Structure 1
């Protein structure tokens, strides 16, 4: 099967969506499919183009047994405000379209697979499929429009907000398959009038052979210079939409404990602000993102994983970092309201505390540190859940079967429906 993947984020980015898009492409290629990836230049989470990659030109890499990756130039804002994010996504769509058309018309893919964010890339994939007769698949990692409303990037009542909702609605209904990463997000698709037969659950996954529970003291403790008996870890992107400012607040409340260090490994536009908030706190240490070959040891160095989220956004997504947290066999404390999909995923594997409640987070950290039996029970349950729900091998095998099912369907490419009279009002 010939598969074209259109997705802004790709390896060597080490966190977020890139991990799953890259992993999917590599496994599909290894299993005998011919995979072409139309991607951007790596920049996340630092929001700076990685050294060795061009800011202004196209580049191709891979092939000879690996996916062919064509990298497109695009605008990368140093401070990703709402408008700048939109320009960032638009610039990738604009530069991706000509190369996607060229490769599509030359190679005639069987399936065009678009990864969102950014949803603005979806027309690129749809146009290529329309001209080549390929099937279409749209994978939703994040409902960007609702997240923009939740974080205040867009106002739902504004003209731009109205336009964003209409674009989302028409785009979702234009693809042969629309997938997302959790049952709650699939329900969102149903609520947005996507036909049931076109909906598919494609979870993010854990590499269970690579991320394994560490027995005893992880070597990363010594490498990072962590001398305290206990360590709580946050590792990932550091952005203002994540509610990460709660971490130094909780650390301040735990300052009297001399047996505990909070480690924050990450990069992003909010890093300097978080460091400022942590000034004077001896129990907070900052490190850059660690290489993938050290990820298992890093996760295993923690006694507790920390997963901050803001209230509204937590109802929409399952953070991609959760999969490896669970696979590491360590308990998770997430700032999330009861009844959300994230709260359900960590049930019996950790503790959910109210978003923004630093005192509750500090109490939960202290309680788990003082209760090794509960930490062990939660950790074992986390590993078991990862094995049952997040096994990457099984998830990709199921995906390949669904891709073949899509390929066997009628070749007609869905056309975005005309708005109803109600929608036009």
Structure 2
């Protein structure tokens, strides 16, 4: 009996080991381990540094490799070092049209799974569907156009262009047999965009076994005896860096506190330059995925400051690791967001929607002076993640839905 063939189309894949690249890799390898024949159409690894990795720069423009039994077809897409909106469009188009050749290389797929972003990857999946009569599943990790509008990357005076790209998005989404996304708020947004679609709630997950080890050594970046506040993740436009630096200003007179930023991304240069004004703040580049449990569990508290005008365009992938580390978090954002609901249900930290610097600083001082509270909040967060977001449960249910 021949194996069922699945082709996944998405710009991010291993060796990218954070955010969407990590989830797509784990999904592909899990499906392969369950007896499916999985192939990937993807780009060259570039995220979050926004440059193609040095060990891939000399590879041919179309490059095939096998990673953990998954066949990977790559196209060397254009990657801007300064990703403005117009350059991101070229980046998107380069990936999409360059990978058309790879459509002819994969085995006839029974299922095609397109990962958004990029929305244009749906075009590649649709072409496979038309040729092979495959079932097309679209999985939305980020409403990239909404995020661009909300975060100011796409200005409101380009209303005609906005209308056009949202029409293209709707047209492509309607080609799907099933559309999934990662939060209930995003599912509501999806249903407003595409009426009567067959939708599925496919949340992000965590390999909780890796993050629950209590004997993890302190990470080299967080070995001091200070009260350690950690931000780890993408340094991009979706985070509220103005608020972050306002908090740093408020902490200048505090003693025994250290802030550590571990990350890379489009805003890295600006953020790192400004960090140098503060002697209690350190920056390091992202660590490999295998070091992440040690890094996260070595902090005393995690922070994630999101712009409050963005509602559910994205569910931060870093959130689950933060919570599974058994440490509390302080998060800001819109009060109507999915993240706010998660923190309300989990009681694993604090969520603020009023942009109050004083509230955040009071919260930091309270946690610094109350270790028992830190322990209780951290335990709540860990238990919530294990119960609701373990990798095996979520992907097994996904496979059952796929086979329907």
- TM above 0.5: yes
- The alpha-carbon deviation at position 103 of structure 1 amounts to 2.3
- The alpha-carbon deviation at position 129 of structure 1 amounts to 1.2
**Equivalents in 1 of 2:302, 2:213: separation in Å?**
13
- The alpha-carbon deviation at position 314 of structure 1 amounts to 4.2
**Equivalents in 1 of 2:236, 2:316: separation in Å?**
13
**Equivalents in 2 of 1:365, 1:273: separation in Å?**
25
Query: 2:319 pairs with 322, 325, 328, which one?
Result: 322
Aligned to 2:189: 188
Normalising by structure 2, what TM-score? 0.94
**Equivalents in 2 of 1:144, 1:268: separation in Å?**
16
**Equivalents in 2 of 1:233, 1:213: separation in Å?**
19
Aligned to 1:59: 63
Aligned to 1:365: 364
Normalising by structure 1, what TM-score? 0.89
- 1:14-413 correspondence to structure 2 within 5 Å: 14-54=17-57, 57-62=61-66, 66-100=69-103, 102-104=104-106, 107-155=107-155, 158-196=159-197, 198-212=198-212, 214=214, 218-220=217-219, 223-224=220-221, 226-347=223-344, 348-354=347-353, 356-405=355-404
Number of aligned residue pairs: give it: 397
Runs ≥4 residues deviating over 6 A:
none
- The alpha-carbon deviation at position 356 of structure 1 amounts to 4.7
Gaps of 5+ in 1: 406-425
- Determine if contact 1:36/1:68 at 8 Å carries over to the other structure: yes
Q: SS at 1:165's partner residue?
A: helix
- The alpha-carbon deviation at position 225 of structure 1 amounts to 5.8
- Per-residue CA shift, 1:111-161, capped at 9, x if unaligned? 010000000111111011110111000000011121111012224562110
Between stretches 5-14 and 65-74, larger displacement belongs to 65-74
- Determine if contact 2:205/2:320 at 8 Å carries over to the other structure: yes
- Determine if contact 1:228/1:258 at 8 Å carries over to the other structure: no
Q: SS at 1:84's partner residue?
A: helix
**Equivalents in 1 of 2:12, 2:109: separation in Å?**
21
**Equivalents in 1 of 2:168, 2:148: separation in Å?**
14
- The alpha-carbon deviation at position 41 of structure 1 amounts to 0.6
**Equivalents in 1 of 2:132, 2:288: separation in Å?**
39
- Determine if contact 2:138/2:179 at 8 Å carries over to the other structure: yes
- Per-residue CA shift, 1:342-365, capped at 9, x if unaligned? 111122111112365433332222
**Equivalents in 2 of 1:70, 1:176: separation in Å?**
24
- The alpha-carbon deviation at position 226 of structure 1 amounts to 3.6
- Per-residue CA shift, 1:255-301, capped at 9, x if unaligned? 22221111100111211211222223121111111122211110100
Gaps of 5+ in 2: none
- The 1:358/1:43 distance shift into structure 2, 3 A limit, reads farther
Cα root mean square deviation, aligned? 1.7
**Equivalents in 1 of 2:75, 2:368: separation in Å?**
47
**Equivalents in 2 of 1:87, 1:243: separation in Å?**
26
- The alpha-carbon deviation at position 213 of structure 1 amounts to 5.3
- The alpha-carbon deviation at position 371 of structure 1 amounts to 2.1
**Equivalents in 1 of 2:316, 2:21: separation in Å?**
13
